[in-house]
């Protein structure tokens, strides 16, 4: 258990561990709403779209949090605008807007900085997390958890039956952009741990595994966070021990958990379904 010893010994590893645990929780919680609203692609888009914001923040020497939220939300609005005002379908609009934002981000960053920085932003480098980054992640985590706790009713209604929500007077458009803002903040929090390219996996994979394990939203949220934490810790272990990119190992850990639930989930798992079908067929013979 060299890993545990190393965690006790090295401050950088403690920071990495704490940050990745927080990221697991944040992404798990936000991810539940993302997958239930059928917005996985949107999650991917917004996470890529923070890149120009991050780049511009570097340029002006401000905290990248502000730039990232700004460019994420602007992209979400642009996607919505194109969908609502033309015959272009939603997924096409998403594809156009996020690649544009991402491309712009790459250009700005390569003009400003070395390619190493770009590499770290894209793929994450959790072992280089500074104390200030950790505090930002904690702050984002507190804001997101508080928001989901306080607006749970509204998020539940608009995810389940948006028209009913609108019918009784909820500002459904505003709630959509509110969730997009939470999504952007979650992305920023995950930037150093898993990197922009793989954030979407942290958002949807643990949530999807949780979705296969329960029929209650609040249980799903807790399970998704738990699976997020587990993936982060396992991923960090492999990243540290075998000197691999942390984003990649964390995502692989999440995927492994997803595959297990997909196969063996008690009610919605593949194995269970197969057994049920077989039993049914046998009873008909």
Partner 1 sequence: MAHAALSIKNLHVSYYGNEAVKEVSLTVNSGNLVGIIGPNGAGKSTFLKAMLNLIPRDKGEIRILGKTVKEVRKKIAYVPQRNDIDWDFPITVLDAVLIGTYPNLKLFKRPKKKDKEWAMECLRRVGMEEFSKRQIGELSGGQQQRVFLARALAQKAELFFLDEPFVGVDVTSEETIVRILKELCSQGKTVIVVHHDLSKANDYFNQLILLNKELIGFGSVQEVFQTEIIEKAYQGQFAFMKEIGV
- The residue ranges that bind partner 1 (CB under 8 A) are 36, 38, 150, 152-153, 156-157, 159-161, 163-164, 166-169, 211, 214-217, 219-220
Least distance in angstroms from the C-beta of 250 to partner 1: 25
Supply the angle between the helices 11-36 and 199-211 in degrees, to the nearest 10: 60
Distances (CA, A) of 46 to 24, 34, 139, 185: 18, 11, 20, 10
Exposure on the CB side of residue 154, measured as CA atoms within 13 A: 16
* Cα torsion angle, 124, 130, 134, 137, sign: negative
In the complex with partner 1, which residue's Cβ is closer, 70 or 151?
151
Least distance in angstroms from the C-beta of 83 to partner 1: 14
In the complex with partner 1, which residue's Cβ is closer, 138 or 166?
166
Q: Residue 141: which of 213, 195, 65, 90 has the closest Cα?
A: 65
Least distance in angstroms from the C-beta of 165 to partner 1: 9
In the complex with partner 1, which residue's Cβ is closer, 153 or 278?
153
Least distance in angstroms from the C-beta of 82 to partner 1: 15
In the complex with partner 1, which residue's Cβ is closer, 39 or 109?
39
State the residue for tokens 């200030």: 132
Least distance in angstroms from the C-beta of 262 to partner 1: 15
In the complex with partner 1, which residue's Cβ is closer, 153 or 279?
153
**Is the distance from CB of 269 to CB of 261 less than 8 angstroms?**
yes
């Amino acid at each position: 258990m060299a890993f545990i010893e190393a965690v006790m010994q090295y401050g950088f590893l403690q920071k990495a561990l704490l940050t990745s645990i927080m990221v697991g929780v944040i992404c798990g919680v936000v991810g539940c709403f993302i997958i239930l609203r059928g917005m996985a692609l949107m999650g991917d888009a917004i996470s890529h779209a923070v890149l120009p914001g991050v780049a511009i923040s570097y340029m002006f020497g401000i905290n990248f949090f502000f730039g990232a939220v700004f460019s994420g939300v602007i992209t979400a609005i642009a996607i919505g605008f194109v969908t609502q005002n033309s015959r272009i379908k939603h997924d096409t609009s998403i594809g156009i807007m996020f690649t544009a934002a991402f491309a712009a981000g790459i250009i700005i960053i390569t003009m400003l900085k070395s390619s190493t920085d770009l590499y770290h932003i894209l793929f994450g480098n959790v072992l280089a997390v500074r104390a200030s980054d950790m505090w930002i992640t904690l702050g984002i985590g507190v804001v997101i958890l508080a928001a989901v706790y306080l607006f749970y009713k509204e998020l539940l209604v608009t995810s389940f039956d948006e028209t009913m929500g609108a019918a009784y007077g909820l500002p459904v458009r505003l709630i959509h952009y509110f969730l997009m803002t939470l999504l952007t903040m979650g992305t920023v929090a995950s930037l150093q741990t898993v990197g922009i390219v793989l954030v979407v996996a942290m958002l949807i994979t643990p949530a999807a595994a949780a979705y296969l394990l329960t029929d209650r939203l609040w249980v799903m949220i807790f399970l998704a966070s738990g699976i997020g934490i587990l993936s982060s810790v396992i991923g960090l272990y492999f990243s540290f021990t075998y000197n691999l990119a942390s984003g990649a190992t964390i995502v692989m850990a999440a995927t492994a958990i997803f595959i297990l639930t997909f196969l063996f989930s008690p009610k919605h798992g593949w194995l269970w379904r197969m057994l049920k079908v077989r039993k049914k067929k046998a009873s008909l013979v």
